Amino acid sequence: MKQAIIQKLLVLLASSLTLFGCGGGGGGGGGSTNSAPAAKMSVQDLNISAENSLESVYQVNIDVDISARSTAKAYISVCDNADAQGDLSQLDFDECLLKGSLDEGRGEFELRVPNHTEELIAVIWIMENDQDPLVYTLSHNNQKERYWLIN
């Protein structure tokens, strides 16, 4: 019993010494050095090539025609594939960029996509028994406009 109390006191003492040894917070002086202020940049200092339109989005025109496979009711979701990497169980369908329906297996969509989205994944759900979803991917490749034919 006495030994347990002594151990607890030693732990408490060690913790207190560590806290006091480290300063216990606060700012205090000591140890700061003066550094030269960062150079201020102006708009004139920016060097942007003429090809850079400073667009934060790119356009994707999507043309879907799966009528050779099925003309049954179908739905399409187009999402960012960064986190899922093609794994549908990891895809957050609430965060998809496009959700729509196909008319007899066909549809046309225009989509504005943020530049940080490197790859898109399209999932087509055909409303037929025993029909697995159709999955397609498209890479951005730093183009400001893309045409995506899904068939």
CA 119 to CA 138: how far, in whole Å? Answer: 6
Residue 68: which residues within 8 A CB-CB, separation 6 or more? 105, 151
Is 41 a domain residue?
Answer: no
Is 8 a domain residue?
Answer: no
Considering the chain, what is the average pLDDT of its residues?
83
Is 134 a domain residue?
Answer: yes
> What confidence tens digit (pLDDT) does each residue in 92-128 have?
999 999 999 999 999 999 999 998 899 999 999 999 9
Is 32 a domain residue?
Answer: no
Number of domains into which the chain is organized:
1
Is 20 a domain residue?
Answer: no
Q: Name the residue type at position 66.
A: I
Is 72 a domain residue?
Answer: yes
Q: What is the CATH number of the domain that holds 144?
A: 2.60.40.4150
Assess whether pLDDT exceeds 90 at residue 71: yes
Is 25 a domain residue?
Answer: no
> What confidence tens digit (pLDDT) does each residue in 125-147 have?
999 999 999 999 999 877 788 89
- Provide the domain limits for residue 89: 57-149
Is 88 a domain residue?
Answer: yes
With a threshold of 0.85, does the pTM exceed it? Answer: no
